[in-house]
Amino acid sequence: MPNAESTPEILYDQQLESTLASVDASEEIAKSLASQLGYDEEETYHIGYAVREAVVNAVVHGNLYSADKRVRLLIERASPWLQVTVEDEGQGFEESRQADPLADENLLSQSGRGILIIRAFMDEVAIGRSASGGTRILMRKSLPPPA
């Protein structure tokens, strides 16, 4: 069973403030862990980018920068995946209601491309609800082969 998943090993689990400083910190944490796990430079960039976009969405669109709300960033090794979960305490997000950023009429929109890029950079992405009713995004990327 090459795809059998083992019990996840928590590499990072924190409740972050809804600030841009948390966005920068999340990107750096994700890149650092990815590098330690043996991802190459480009894959590490992709993981850091996806985490940054997910935390931006949580801080800006989910929690609306509220000082009373937190963003959970959970990073796990769940072989064969690196698994990242980002949860906010907002009102939730319905991806199906979002305008298609690749439609010709939306190409000049200023926003709405974050999820598209996350999906391009990660292997699996699932968007749902957190326990609080906010948004949970789960992102997976295949772990690099052992050195």
Partner 1 sequence: MSLKLTTRQVGDVTVVDSAGRITLGEGSSAFRDTIKGLVNQGQKKILVNLGEVTYIDSSGIGELVSGYTTVSNAGGKLKLLNLTKRVHDLLQITKLYTVFEVFDDEAKALASF
Q: What are the residues binding partner 1 (CB under 8 A)? A: 20, 23, 45, 49, 52-53, 56, 60, 101-102, 107-111, 113-114, 116-117, 120
Q: What residues does 33 pair with on adjacent strands?
A: none
- Identify which of residues 78 and 117 has a Cβ nearer to partner 1 in the complex: 117
Q: How far is the CB of 61 from partner 1 (least distance, A)?
A: 11
Q: What is the DSSP code (8-state) at residue 69?
A: -
List, in sequence order, the alpha helices (H) in the chain.
20-36, 41-56, 114-121
Tokens of 47: 């993981």
- Identify which of residues 5 and 65 has a Cβ nearer to partner 1 in the complex: 65
Q: How far is the CB of 102 from partner 1 (least distance, A)?
A: 5
Q: How far is the CB of 77 from partner 1 (least distance, A)?
A: 26
- Identify which of residues 96 and 110 has a Cβ nearer to partner 1 in the complex: 110
Q: How many CB atoms lie within 10 A of CB 101?
A: 15
According to DSSP, the β-strands at 81-87 and 124-129 are unpaired
Q: How far is the CB of 113 from partner 1 (least distance, A)?
A: 4
- Identify which of residues 1 and 102 has a Cβ nearer to partner 1 in the complex: 102
Q: How far is the CB of 5 from partner 1 (least distance, A)?
A: 28
Task: Count Cβ atoms within 10 A of the Cβ of residue 10 and give its class: 0-12 exposed, 13-18 middle, 19 or more buried.
Answer: exposed
Instruction: Please name the helix (run of DSSP H) or strand (run of DSSP E) that holds residue 126, with its range, or none.
Output: strand 124-129
Q: Give the phi and the psi of residue 61 in degrees, each rounded to 5.
A: -90, -30
- Identify which of residues 60 and 78 has a Cβ nearer to partner 1 in the complex: 60
